[in-house]
Amino acid sequence: MTDADPAFWSGRAPLLFPIVGQLRHNEYRFNETVYKLEKHGFARRQKFELVEHNQRHVIFALRANDITRAQYPFEFRLEMAFEITGYSLLMTATITNEDDKPMPFSFGYHPAFAWPLPYGRDIHDHHIIFEKPEPAPIRRIDMKSGLIKAERDDSPVTGRTFRPNHTDFEDDAIIWDDLQSRSLTWGAAGDPMLQIDFPDTPMLGVWQKPGARYLCIEPWAGIADPVGFDGNFVEKPGLLMLDIGAQQSFRMKIRLKES
């Protein structure tokens, strides 16, 4: 994982809920009421309660409270489970709608992995190998507004391989919103690599602060507002909807494997 050098980023692996990315003017409209909500939502700054734990797993939970209701008018439960088995870490986020109305939301992971990994290789030896070819154009961030540009850029993936450079992130994240893969590996050929599986999230962001010693590989179910979006929350691209009493889970598995 990242060495968490605050010179580059004070984050570790925040949870993105109930939005992914940034809203236009950091606000949205729901039932004609305007709510303020900062980039990536509030879950990453809330204290979760400990539900249960043993030597192999731990479960935390966040429920709606006065702070969240002022920004997001829904009753919810966000449960986060971590389980270690051998050389694998399985994370499962489960979101439950405890309200009396359907609940719109997005969710995303934001873990930062060491770049380079601790095997003595140069950063330029590292690459992402996707499960499937990814020829579809990507999305980028408009640096003035923090929103998604209307135009798309050519895919940086050659076949299934993406070789990142620090300069790739001078304009913020690289975003796949038409992703075919639900798994990838990260590392340098010939060394142990990380296999990252994300079967429940259809989008992916890859990001770093240029020059930092990490690469964020972020499975998403949701995306920032596009430039020019009018702020109607239920029409937000990538938004999911939970029926009353329903729940939805998002898994992410990280496994250290031989190359």
> Cα torsion for 108, 111, 116, 119, to the nearest 10°?
-120
Comparing CA positions, the residue from 64, 15, 23 lying closest to residue 238 is 23
Report the C-alpha gap between 157 and 206 in whole angstroms: 12
| Residues ≥6 apart with Cβ < 8 Å to 81 | 57, 58, 59, 60, 90, 91, 92, 93, 94
HSE-CB for 164 with a 13 A CA cutoff? 30
pTM, two decimals, is 0.96
Q: What is the pLDDT of residue 12?
A: 84
Report the C-alpha gap between 87 and 42 in whole angstroms: 31
The phi, psi pair for 93, rounded to 5°, reads: -100, 125
Q: What angle do CA 133, 136, 138 make, to 5 degrees?
A: 120
Report the C-alpha gap between 146 and 207 in whole angstroms: 14
The pair of three-digit structure tokens given for residue 198, joined into one six-digit string: 């994300």
Structural domains present in the chain: 24-257 (2.70.98.10)
DSSP 3-state of 244: coil
Q: What is the pLDDT of residue 4?
A: 85
Q: What is the pLDDT of residue 251?
A: 98
Q: What is the pLDDT of residue 211?
A: 87
Report the C-alpha gap between 164 and 159 in whole angstroms: 14
HSE-CB for 217 with a 13 A CA cutoff? 25
Report the C-alpha gap between 181 and 174 in whole angstroms: 15
| Residues ≥6 apart with Cβ < 8 Å to 55 | none
Q: How far is CA 157 from the centre of its chain?
A: 20
Q: Which helix (H) or strand (E) holds 216?
A: strand 214-221
Distances (CA, A) of 189 to 28, 89, 240: 45, 22, 37
| Residues ≥6 apart with Cβ < 8 Å to 201 | 107, 108, 109, 182, 219, 220, 221, 250, 252
Q: What is the pLDDT of residue 252?
A: 98
Q: What is the pLDDT of residue 210?
A: 87
C-beta of residue 134 within 8 angstroms of C-beta of residue 161: no
Per-residue pLDDT of the chain (259 residues; tens, 9 = 90+): 888 888 898 888 999 999 999 999 999 999 999 999 999 999 999 999 999 999 999 999 999 999 999 999 999 999 999 999 999 999 999 999 999 999 999 999 999 999 999 999 999 999 999 999 999 999 999 999 999 999 999 999 999 999 999 999 999 999 999 999 999 999 999 999 999 999 999 999 999 998 899 999 999 999 999 999 998 999 999 999 999 999 999 999 999 998 6
